[in-house]
Structure formats: C-alpha cells, structure tokens
Amino acid sequence: MSAPIELSALDLSALLCSKVCHDVINPVAAMENGFQLLEMDQKAESREEAMKLIRHSAIKASAKLEFARIAFGSSGSPTAQIDVGDAGDLGKRLFEPEVKVEFNIPKTLMAKNRVKLLLNMMLIAGGAVPRGGVMKVDPIGSGETMGFSVKVEAERVRIQPVVEGLLAGSPAEPVTAQTIQPFYTGVLAREQGMKLSLATEAAGASLTAQ
C-alpha cells in the first residue's frame, strides 16, 4: 500500500469546518422551519407540532456541536488529557435513541487525541447504520496505551467502499468535505502510533484501533 498522503494544515482545517457546518445545518434549518410555522399557523395543534420540531432540532444541533467540539476541535493544551468516559456520554447524546450505545470503557484520563480518535471511530460506525441499531464500544488492553473496538449491529449495515482507503491515508480520489472525516480518523490513529482495522459483514461492522 502506498504511503499516506498529507494535507496542508489549511486544507485540513477548511475541510473539517465544512464537515461540521454540513452536519449542523439540517437541524438548524429545521428550527427555522418550526419558527416559520409558528408565525404562519396559529392553530393549537400546529403550534404544538412546531414546538416539537424546534425542541427536537435544538437537541440534535446541540449534540452535534458538543460532539464536534471534542472530536474535531481543540480542548486545552496539546498535551491535555480527557476522561474517555466523556466519549460515551457524547455518543449517547448524539446517536440515541436511533442507535443504542453500549459503552464499556471505564472512566479514565487519556491523551486528548486518543479520545478524539475514539469519537471519530464512533462517528464512522454510527454512519454505517442509518436506520438504527446497536453500537458496542469496548477497550482493547488498558491504561494509557488502551486501544478501542467499535462494533455496530443492525439489519442494514453499510460502510462506503472508499472508507478503508481514507482510513489508511491513501484514498483513490482527492479528499473532499464529504470524505474528510474518515481521513482525519486515520491521521489521528497514526499520530497515536495505532493501526486501524475495518471488518464488515451482512449484519455488522467493526472498527478497531490498537
């Protein structure tokens, strides 16, 4: 396999910003639609439906932003540590109730980028079950060198064929805002000296880093 490609800091940051904006724009637009409905239709049942839409969309937007702040953003100094248990809490907020998250890693402080890696692995796994399912997150080993296993199970599981090449840093096509997230996951793994492995089957998929 060819050596991993490298993106400039400007290109990487721009593509990640585009990714975050794309993820958040749908629930924000839904909130706008809800407010427009409140203005246009004063019927009690219509106002109730509009408020449900606004509340649901606000919760989703908040969860996506909180997840992205840790998964893509900076938190403290380059050597900062994060409680890996926070990844479980963030995952539950983002994916449930559509995807049930079984987070089996005990609370412990770990290197910031190692926790960011886990969050990005969960994001890839969650995207593989668009109709819902179960996500199981388990430790591989223990301590500061702990690795991770993220497995999803559902009636329909699909991971795009390009993901494996993106994780390895050797994509067949140029990296775009639509494909930056798995590429970034691979960057995080290599920075931590870890190897990513992806396995798929009819009713499940697993992503490991160790």
In a domain, 155, yes or no: yes
Which 3 state secondary structure label does DSSP give 77? coil
Q: Which residues have a Cβ under 8 Å from the Cβ of 125 and sit 6 or more positions away?
A: 135, 150, 151, 152, 205, 207
In a domain, 50, yes or no: no
In a domain, 139, yes or no: yes
What total of structural domains would you count in the chain? 1
In a domain, 43, yes or no: no
The 10s digit of each residue's pLDDT in 148-201 is 999 999 998 999 999 999 999 999 999 999 999 999 999 999 999 999 999 988
Sheet-wide strand order for 196-201: 99-103, 133-140, 147-153, 204-209, 196-201
Helix (H) or strand (E) holding 111: strand 109-111
Mean pLDDT of the chain: 92
Q: Is the pLDDT of residue 1 over 90?
A: no
The 10s digit of each residue's pLDDT in 133-160 is 999 999 999 888 899 999 999 998 999 9
CATH code for position 157: 3.30.565.10
What is the span of the domain harbouring residue 193?
9-21+77-209
The 10s digit of each residue's pLDDT in 19-32 is 999 999 999 999 99
How many residues appear in the chain? 210
